[in-house]
Amino acid sequence: MKIFRTAWGYTFVELLIVVMLLSILAAAAMPLVRVTARRQKEAELRHALREVRTAIDRYKDASDRGMIGGPNQRLGSEGYPPDLKTLVEGVAVTGDASGRRLKFLRRVPLDPIMRSTDWGLRSYQDSPDSMSWGGQDVYDIYSKASGRGLDGIPYRQW
C-alpha cells in the first residue's frame, strides 16, 4: 500500500494566472475611477459658479432696491459689484447709521478645475462671450480652465 502525499498550496502558474486576472480587472476599473473623479470636480465647479452668480444677483437686487450704493454708486456700474472681494467684505447699508454691512459671500469659492480663486470676470458692458474683463463691474464669472467638460462644452462657456 502506497501512501500518497497531498500537495498543499498553489503552484507558481496558478499564482501567475490569479495576478494577471486581478491586474486586468484593475485596469478595466481605472477609467471608471477617473471619470467619476472628473464628474465630481465638474459638479463642484457648477456649484461654485451658481454660488457666485447668485451672490452677484443678490447684490444687484439690493442695489436696485436702494439698500446699497446710493448717490455714491459708481457711474456705469449698472448696480453690479466692482469685484468679487466686495461680495465677501460686504457693503454699507444705505441710511443705516450703525455701520451694518451686507455680505453676499463668506469667501470666494475655489475653482476645482484650476484649484485657485482666480476666476474669469465679465462686466455688464462686455460682450457675453468675451474672455477679457472691461473692469467696470462684475456681471458674470467663468472658469479659466482650458479643457472641456464630459458633456463636450468648454469650461469657459459654463
Q: Please give the single-letter amino acid code of residue 49.
A: L
Alpha helices in 7-139 (DSSP H): 12-64, 84-89
List all residues 6 or more positions away from 78 whose beta carbon is below 8 Å from its beta carbon: 124, 137, 139
CA atoms within 13 A on the CB side of 66: 2
The 8-class DSSP code of residue 73 comes to P
Return the pLDDT at 41.
Answer: 94
- Which is higher by pLDDT, 73 or 50? 50
Nearest to 73 by CA among 83, 82, 84, 85: 82
Q: Which helix (H) or strand (E) holds 92?
A: strand 91-92
Q: How confident is the model at residue 2 (pLDDT cuts 50, 70, 90)?
A: low
Return the pLDDT at 10.
Answer: 72
The arithmetic mean of pLDDT across residues 57-81, rounded, is 79
Q: How far apart are CA 28 and CA 124, in angstroms?
A: 48
Q: How far apart are CA 90 and CA 13, in angstroms?
A: 69
* pLDDT surpasses 70 at 86: yes
